[in-house]
Structure 1
């Protein structure tokens, strides 16, 4: 078994300084991190890749940052992979808590804001969400397929940052 770990050490350059890693060692590290990340994300949940909320995006940014250190050798290889697993587990635990606790869900995922009600804009709420009239009109055309604000019963800036529309009945 000792011979196996010696081979792994040599192949991955586990004891080497980052500047001394070879192309092959960095490539092998990249392959292992790629496969490990796929497994982590699959164990985490499909929604974490959907960028549904900043909560989901934060996981991906931090996970990428942490795992890149395993590839470039600036952090311990297996400990860094373990840290990635912990981050995915924490994300999943928070998502589970948010499912059962509406308040916790609002804390970590945010809440939607109504910016149009019965064709009337709520300009302070639009300002708070940095949504200009041009942004609203563009999303009306692209998503609701309308160009007349009076046809909008409700428009919300969702937790994901997308604007959703409910149109008035014709």
Structure 2
């Protein structure tokens, strides 16, 4: 037991080597938690996925700096990951829950005109939409654009006109 205290430290008085060792262990635990959580949490990047990223980072950081006891931190992270997986399953199973948690895409531009009411709802201005058009469609020529959406994950996507 004394060896573990020497390597990982105890409480908040930690040296650089002890924090490094804690960081290594937390990194390995984080990898396991991410595998349990599934690829969705770091692939789709919707609001639910951002929540798990922020929460896991905040909670796991407490283990590295010794701000809280190690086992309760790992238990908390496991609960967060299992909850994320359960809510993700609900989202793919129930459309109404998906809309409630993730929202719906919003049409921002159609038939050659910006839809101001929808842009206000999405808290976007013209330059925000044009930025998304440039990134997504690699053009500023709106005559090539049929529709523009803001997706559930906040990404702006463009449907070009058929040629």
Specify the alignment match of 2:14 in structure 1.
Answer: 21
Mapping 1:1-170, distance limit 5 Å: 5-13=1-9, 16-18=10-12, 20-50=13-43, 52-170=45-163
Q: For residue 36 of structure 2, give the secondary structure of its aligned residue in structure 1.
A: helix
- Cα offset, 1:94, TM superposition: 0.6
- Cα offset, 1:169, TM superposition: 1.4
Deviations along 1:22-72, one digit per CA (max 9) or x if unpaired, are 222221111100110011101211121135212111111111000111111
Deviations along 1:64-86, one digit per CA (max 9) or x if unpaired, are 00011111111111220121111
How high is the TM-score relative to the length of structure 1? Answer: 0.87
Q: For residue 143 of structure 2, give the secondary structure of its aligned residue in structure 1.
A: helix
Answer whether contact 2:62 2:73 (CA < 8 A) is retained.
Answer: yes
The number of equivalent residue pairs is 163
Answer whether contact 1:120 1:150 (CA < 8 A) is retained.
Answer: no
How high is the TM-score relative to the length of structure 2? Answer: 0.91
User: What runs of 5+ residues in structure 2 fail to find an aligned partner?
Assistant: none
Displaced runs of 4 or more, over 3 A: none
RMSD of aligned residue pairs (Cα, Å): 1.7
Answer whether contact 1:44 1:88 (CA < 8 A) is retained.
Answer: yes
User: What runs of 5+ residues in structure 1 fail to find an aligned partner?
Assistant: none
- Cα offset, 1:131, TM superposition: 1.9
